[in-house]
Amino acid sequence: MTVATVVGNMEISLNGVYYPIARPVQVVGASQYPGKVVIGDTGRDSNPNVSVLALSNWQGGVGLQYATEAGGSDRSWWSTCQTRYRNHVLLPRLATLTAASGVTGTVTVGAIGELASEIYGAFNTSVRKYNNTTDSWGSSLATLPAAATDAITFRMGGVVYLAFATTGGYTYTSDGVAYTDDTRDTLYFTYWDDRLWGIDNTGLLWYSTAIGVETDDAQLPLPDGSVTALFTARDASGEFIIYVATKEGVYAHDIDNKRFVKTELTLPYHPNGGKGTLRWREAIRYPAGMGVYKYQAGNNAAVITLMGLDRDDGLPWDKRGTITQLVGTHNDLLAIIAGATTVPALNMFDGSAMGSHQAAVIEPATGYSTIMGWDDKGWETKWLGGLSGKSISFACVSYAYSTYRLWWAHNGRVYYMPLSADMINPTEVTDFAYAATGEHITPWFNLGQIEVDKLAIRVRADAHETSSTETISLDYGTNLTEGWTAMGTITSDGITTYTLPTSANPVGVDFRWIRFRATLARGSTTTLSPHLHNITLEWRKKLSVKWGYAVTIDLSKEHKGNTPEQMRVALKTAISAKTFVEFTYRDDSTGAHTSYVDVEQPQGVENTGHDFRGMESLVLVEK
């Protein structure tokens, strides 16, 4: 395309027509927003030159990678820290690894049970009791007929029993010393209507009113290997009944007709569907992969909602896997996640102390196993395994040894972690035991304006309980890249300010997207943790450079073959153009000094009659 050039003095070219001008072109910057209007007291965004992103509450949980203009400041992409407390990010709870069991070879803990306020574990086929005082597992108390798939504590005939389920039968004890084997194959247990109930791999349900004597009941109308959990929950009338979770949804037990009936939660086949299904609070929670269905039966209609870890953006790739168990606590529904997507070697199972808990043994795979907690607001990471490809095989909640704890098995060893029975203020508790480190990563923020360039100026962080050993390191990342830029380490309480990129070079950091990472660490004292209260970013909107040109066109005489009348007609064409028009006042055939403008604010002086002479003032604005 041929570009117009201007070689004469006091001349411009507009929309391909040359015009004489009465005075030099006036050039002004046109790329700016109007000033902010502040009514009443000032707020964090009242500064006319700086905008603010304030992050102070992360109770919305993990799983949001990209925050939008509509929200996301209460979420994190990934965090191993405690985020349940408003305006607090803390180190995670300390998990304790118990002593090795003493069982040789490759060990899998199939189930963990409780009897008389003591913990028992099934290591392969060896049952052993934990000594909470000496941190040791004693000698083998019993040899199971096969690897355990479930454990339950129940009362029958006035006697409290602990039973381990296996595919070769189930084994029970009332004192932890003498054990009896029953040959009835059992994958999962539950206790209901003063009866012990069990189900096997074929889906055949049985019950027992006297220990060691079983009666067949209902047969699940699905192929072998379909059952993934056995539990109790309310039906539409509000009565408790038995349910079976399967790879195709949930079936209800019809005790009067000794049959299973499909519920509204009927789903397409999923190889991991229903593993660890249970009732928590008011509804059934059914996992499938990383998803969780909340199912609540009602008189008129069932209500099904989604609340899983696959919502929004999911989890980082190396934290994804399969939910193999759900465990209920006072404050959280815990999801036990195997860092894998492989099909389990054994099915899930269900049981509990006077109730139900579930677990499974799955084949090794890649990824890190995790324990996540849901509190009806969001998901929080409770524990992250340190070994890739090692799955959690069982988890349960117990008040054994007069301490409320979560117990779980990972890589052949048993861990425990203290739990809270209520919500607490972490600043008022001095006996919390914290892990050594924790990582907290915010979502990516585009601050709702992709159309403008943005300049990060300063980052302020408010923290307390920090010291030379209890520290918080802060980093930032930009523009969707994986790398991080360190800002510094906080070792003293109060507000710490970081000028970007450095205090020695305070020119700011250009960004389209930005995120932050906080790494918390403590010293040797386990009851100390740094507290991060907020992160505040001060940034400025940087509009693309646009120019405005004020010109006064002299229409007093003919110019380059055009009469004043012809030039006026050409000006009206330029003013009414539906597209931008070409404008230049320089001699440059490359187009480097050519602008494409809107013609605005026409204002002029015209003679009357047949005299078209006069002056015309225009503002030409780049778009």
Encode pLDDT of 230-278 as tens digits.
999 999 989 999 999 999 999 999 999 999 999 999 999 999 999 999 9
Q: What is the mean pLDDT of residues 105-124?
A: 97
Per-chain mean pLDDT for the chain: 91
pLDDT per position as a tens digit, 515-554? 999 999 999 999 999 999 999 999 998 888 889 999 999 9
Separation of alpha carbons 58 and 93, rounded Å: 17
Residues 56, 59: Cα–Cα separation, whole Å? 10
Out of 116-120, 417-421, 594-598, the most confident range is 116-120
The pLDDT of 195-204, averaged and rounded, is 98
* pLDDT score recorded for residue 382: 97
Instruction: Quote the pTM value.
Output: 0.86
Q: Residues 336, 340, 341, CA angle at the centre, nearest 5°?
A: 110
Q: What is the pLDDT of residues 556-605, one digit of tens each?
A: 999 999 999 999 999 999 999 999 999 999 998 888 889 999 999 999 89
At 97, phi and psi to the nearest 5? Answer: -90, 120
Q: How far apart are CA 509 and CA 456, in angstroms?
A: 5
pLDDT in tens, 146-178: 999 999 999 999 999 999 999 999 999 999 999
Q: Ranked by mean pLDDT, which of 293-307, 328-342, 373-387 comes out on top?
A: 373-387
244 exposure class (CB count in 10 Å sphere: 0-12, 13-18, 19+): buried
Q: How do beta strands 126-131 and 136-137 pair?
A: antiparallel
DSSP E strands: which ranges in 329-483?
333-338, 349-352, 355-359, 368-374, 379-388, 392-398, 405-410, 413-418, 437-441, 444-445, 453-464, 471-478
For the chain, what's the residue count?
623
What are the structure tokens assigned to 234, written together? 């309310």
Number of H helices, E strands in the chain: 1, 50
Return the SS3 of 427. helix
Phi, psi of 620 (to 5 degrees): -110, 120
Check residue 451 and give its pLDDT.
81
| Confidence bin at 71 (pLDDT 50/70/90) | confident
Longest dimension (CA), the chain: 121
Mean pLDDT value of segment 57-63? 95
How far apart are alpha carbons 616 and 356 in whole angstroms? 86
Query: Model confidence over 332-358: pLDDT tens digits?
Result: 999 999 875 433 333 333 333 333 334
Residue 2 above 80 pLDDT? no
The Cα 181–Cα 34 span in angstroms is 82
Kindly state the average pLDDT of the residues 369-394.
91
The per-residue pLDDT for 359 is 40
Please tell me the predicted confidence (pLDDT) of residue 184.
96
